[in-house]
Structure 1
Amino acid sequence: MSEFESWQITPAVAARLDNLGWTPASVDGIDALVPIVRGTSVVSVLPPVPATAAPIAAAILSGLSSRGGRVLVLTTPALVGEWGATMAAITAGTPWRIEAARGPARAGRRIKADEVDVVIAAPETALTLLTRSALAPDAVTTIVLAWPEDWDAEEAVTVLLQDLPKDAQRVVITARPEQAGALVERYARRALLFGAPSADPAVGSPALPALRESARTLATSWPGRAAAVAELIDATDPSDATIWTVDTRDHELLRIALGGGAEGVRIVMRGAPLSGVVICYDPPARADLPAFASTDDLTILVPPGTEGHVARIVTRRRPVQAATSAAALLTRDAALRSEITRELAGGTLDAPLYALGPLFERHEAQAIAAAVFALWRRAVAPAAPSANAAGASASTPVGGIAATKIWVGVGKKDEATVGDLVAVMVKELGVDRTLIGRIELRDTFALVEVPEADAERIAARLTGLTIRRRKLVARVDRGPGESRGGSGAPRGGPRGGGSGGFRAPRADRR
């Protein structure tokens, strides 16, 4: 009998946790398991590494076996695949059916055919499944919000959670509970908190370990970690090396990747003794840092979605330099490199990392950086004037399609929100959520980016609908040159100080 059965984990899933090397003593916030099994809403503090949430997932599945329904895991696009691998590891040999939805097509077909018990998706993908009637709201009994502080999907989350059952269990997994507080208050009120250090000395919670002073970091994709470790060991040729992992799920994959180069290399999971050069296959939690105190040579793999976490636990990070064609160009564009360095040092990069996350799974980080750099160079370069520049209206791409803005006569003074506008367009007009661009909410009106070809139709259909008890008037925005007088002019008048028309492409906005 597995020790996890004492925590109400079903025998089949408990056996899988045992096979992965987990014990109750190795689970951070283990007291959360029983409330999760019983259907209680919970907030669990864990680093943004899906493998660390395997016991939480086991508790969710154990509760699902008694309550029925479907689990919806919402996470960043970069973590969808890794969540799928984690779920697959703890459900192997069980009847649970998992779908890591990187897009709506296959997932929608499987859900409609009732072939899925657990859906893992980014909020935008889940919203698309909902609007296409593939994901039935009433069937969802547990909603997992995995590291929502790293999302850049407020509009999609607002619309999505408005339609999902209010009494569905909420399990929030966060690395920064202070930043996820507003979302927890709105969508998981009275949830029990586990794993966060207490600020009250009377509670007697242990102090947080000191930060790591210095470590090397190696950016890689989630599926490419084993190959990255093998290449690193081949390049550095250590006589003694330890590969540290959260659990044993990928140990065999690492052995295969190392091939004949495994001599002098140990593969261990958390809690085991460490020696020689240490490579963290999974980014460690802050609570794990004391285990590396005696390690002088530490390299941490940094897959997409973990960049901020690693920056918070390591004071000085030294990126491992891969031998690439970019090395010959290091002396070029010094001014632009300095600007990038300043952005890395002081910028908040959660939203850009969220947007680029899916690309890190398919392309090398250096290639993505080079492509973004090229787009940036084109965006900041002065454009040559065209013959019809004076009368032309600019356009912003939405989903790769030329777009324009529509003016909607409702704003902040009407207590309207961005979510209200998205909800009306998606539910009432049937507009695909992915085709709605930037929404600028002003005091008395809003500007909404939509595909240029559909702008007139959308504006006409919006006119007459209601948001917050206000009847809408909408039209295609023509910029400050358009006359706003006349009896038919929408309220709000000219937008003082606004540029009208459109902003530059998103590539040059920070």
Structure 2
Amino acid sequence: MEKELSRDATRAADIEPTVARGGNVVAVMPPSAVYLKPALAALSHRAEGEGLQLLVLASDAMLPSVEHVLNEAWRDAGGTVLAARAAGRALNLLNQERVTALVCSPDTALALLARSSLPLDSAPTVLLAWPETWDDDSALIGLMQDLPAEAQRILYTAAPRQAERLAERYLRKAFVLGAPPHGTSLPVIEQSITVVSVSGIDIGTAVRQALDLLQPTSGVVWTAVAETKSAVVDALAKSPNDVPVTCGEVAPAKLIVAADLPIPEDLRRLAAAADRLVVLTPPWGLPYLVGQASALATLQLPGAADEVDRTLAKQRSRIEGVLEAGGSDLDRAINALTPLFEHRDPTLVAGALYRLWTTESLPEPKPMPGPPSPPAPRKGRPAGHGRSTKVFVTAGKKDGATPADFVAMLTRDLKVPPEHIGKIELRETFSLIELPADEAQAVADALTGRTIRRRKIIARLERQR
């Protein structure tokens, strides 16, 4: 992997030796999970320990991105990482000492502690991820008072002045990284910065969509870490936008799109180098940017509905082109359809043709009259298959999941025939999907790691009771 680093990533990497030695750290960084990786990598040896080794407290909104970075940092070390939005999901695993690293909100952690299911006495490290993004930090009082004095404490914050109270109370003698000298501050950026709020979409796709909207004649995409650069390069590989992607380098350009949140110093370097600076940020990063620049403009990325509308408009345009061109091919096509028009509504015929065109497949012909068909299968059992099995999926009502989400993923992404999908049972924190027994394991393996409603899911065969 390439070793290019911006000032942001270099500063983040400076944390690693202190964290590895077990020291307390206060790191002043933009509120983006990518900057956690050096500290989490330095803690990866903890994955070999027994019981809970790491507790990361973050806002509910940041849980997916923190979980992703933690899994990346601990990929080769093993251990079990659990991101819990509610206490119920974590109770059993924690009680069985099967969780090595827990990522949750302070409120969820306090609820687990109240049920005697959060073994803080065995957690050598607690990491507080940007407390200024939490709804409330009052839960910390109950959590930190039960934390052993020798436990390692790490605080990431983009608001050092507001975090001073936490640092003084819970992180005595901490190594402080990135904070401006006491009593000093950087000048506010006078140039207007365009902000793109990115939520529920990967960064590569977000950059591609932003460039599609901006249509730059020249420009550059700036990233802070090599992982982001790789994701953006992959996303732009098939894009008509021929825009270079850099990691840490800043050079004059008409347009600079920052795919990572820059630290204050780099944000000012980028603003000075660009005629127009566009910064992609998760919603919780907006207050950080408000404190850096005197004026912010916003750019709205297209949503899923906009993408559908554009696709349909292109298809209608192609049909208009064929109609305007006319010719013998069109005449022959009309002649072939004329018998249908005699007993079918032409609008319905056009709809059927459109469906065939967009799906690029023909429906199976109806069978010739013959022996009576066997009785229809019971509701909830995949047609044409004898034995069925339920697949357990770690997404349920609390995550906002719906049966339509699962059907869409199974049919569109995994190419499971609709008739193979049986009953879908939605529970509070998980779901059960009935599938043919001979396909269930393969489908469970393919589902694991995918995302439904911004939750990364795990799937397995339901355990027989």
1:178-257 equivalence runs, <5 A: 178-199=161-182, 208=186, 211=189, 213-221=191-199, 223-257=201-235
C-alpha deviation, 1:272, in angstroms: 5.6
The runs of 5 or more residues in structure 2 that have no matched partner are 306-398, 402-465
Rg (Cα) greater in structure: 2
- 1:295 corresponds in structure 2 to 274
- Cα distance change, pair 253–111 in 1 and its aligned pair in 2 (3 A): farther
Are 1:141 and 1:168, in contact at CA under 8 Å, matched by a contact in 2? yes
Between the aligned partners of 2:51 and 2:234, the Cα distance in structure 1 is 39
Between the aligned partners of 2:266 and 2:26, the Cα distance in structure 1 is 20
- 2:289 corresponds in structure 1 to 310
C-alpha deviation, 1:299, in angstroms: 0.8
Between the aligned partners of 1:69 and 1:268, the Cα distance in structure 2 is 38
SS, match of residue 28 in structure 1: helix
Between the aligned partners of 1:68 and 1:196, the Cα distance in structure 2 is 34
Structure 1 residue identity aligned to 2:196: L
> C-alpha deviations, 1:160-199, integer Å up to 9, x for none?
2222323311111111221111112222223232221223
SS, match of residue 100 in structure 1: strand
Between the aligned partners of 1:113 and 1:274, the Cα distance in structure 2 is 56
Are 2:40 and 2:74, in contact at CA under 8 Å, matched by a contact in 1? no
The runs of 5 or more residues in structure 1 that have no matched partner are 1-17, 202-206, 327-360, 364-510
SS, match of residue 133 in structure 1: coil
Q: Aligned residues, how many?
A: 308
- 2:249 corresponds in structure 1 to 271
Taking structure 2 as the reference length, the TM-score comes to: 0.58
- 1:122 corresponds in structure 2 to 105
Between the aligned partners of 1:250 and 1:174, the Cα distance in structure 2 is 21
Structure 2 residue identity aligned to 1:169: Q
> C-alpha deviations, 1:314-370, integer Å up to 9, x for none?
2210111457899xxxxxxxxxxxxxxxxxxxxxxxxxxxxxxxxxx989xxxxxxx
- 1:283 corresponds in structure 2 to 261
Are 1:39 and 1:63, in contact at CA under 8 Å, matched by a contact in 2? no
Taking structure 1 as the reference length, the TM-score comes to: 0.54
SS, match of residue 72 in structure 1: strand
SS, match of residue 249 in structure 1: helix
Are 2:30 and 2:288, in contact at CA under 8 Å, matched by a contact in 1? yes
Between the aligned partners of 1:278 and 1:236, the Cα distance in structure 2 is 11
Between the aligned partners of 1:82 and 1:20, the Cα distance in structure 2 is 22
Between the aligned partners of 1:45 and 1:87, the Cα distance in structure 2 is 19
- Cα distance change, pair 240–57 in 1 and its aligned pair in 2 (3 A): same
RMSD (Å) for aligned C-alpha atoms: 3.4
- Cα distance change, pair 230–71 in 1 and its aligned pair in 2 (3 A): same
Q: Work out whether 1:70 is the aligned partner of 2:53.
A: yes
- Cα distance change, pair 19–210 in 1 and its aligned pair in 2 (3 A): same
Between the aligned partners of 1:84 and 1:95, the Cα distance in structure 2 is 14
Name which of structure 1's ranges 258-267 and 33-42 shifts more when overlaid on structure 2: 258-267
Between the aligned partners of 1:159 and 1:44, the Cα distance in structure 2 is 23
Structure 2 residue identity aligned to 1:86: V
> C-alpha deviations, 1:276-326, integer Å up to 9, x for none?
422111221102124312211211112121111111122210111457899
- Cα distance change, pair 66–271 in 1 and its aligned pair in 2 (3 A): farther
- Cα distance change, pair 317–192 in 1 and its aligned pair in 2 (3 A): same
Among candidates 58, 77, 80, match of residue 41 of structure 2: 58
- 2:81 corresponds in structure 1 to 98
- Cα distance change, pair 27–181 in 1 and its aligned pair in 2 (3 A): same
SS, match of residue 204 in structure 2: helix
1:145-156 equivalence runs, <5 A: 145-156=128-139
Are 2:209 and 2:301, in contact at CA under 8 Å, matched by a contact in 1? no
- Cα distance change, pair 108–286 in 1 and its aligned pair in 2 (3 A): same
Are 2:6 and 2:224, in contact at CA under 8 Å, matched by a contact in 1? no
Are 1:76 and 1:151, in contact at CA under 8 Å, matched by a contact in 2? yes
- 1:157 corresponds in structure 2 to 140
Q: Work out whether 1:111 is the aligned partner of 2:94.
A: yes
Between the aligned partners of 2:25 and 2:286, the Cα distance in structure 1 is 25
C-alpha deviation, 1:96, in angstroms: 3.8
> C-alpha deviations, 1:137-177, integer Å up to 9, x for none?
22211111111133232332222222232331111111122
Between the aligned partners of 1:300 and 1:24, the Cα distance in structure 2 is 17
Between the aligned partners of 1:114 and 1:267, the Cα distance in structure 2 is 44
Between the aligned partners of 1:109 and 1:269, the Cα distance in structure 2 is 42
C-alpha deviation, 1:266, in angstroms: 2.1
Among candidates 58, 62, 65, match of residue 79 of structure 1: 62
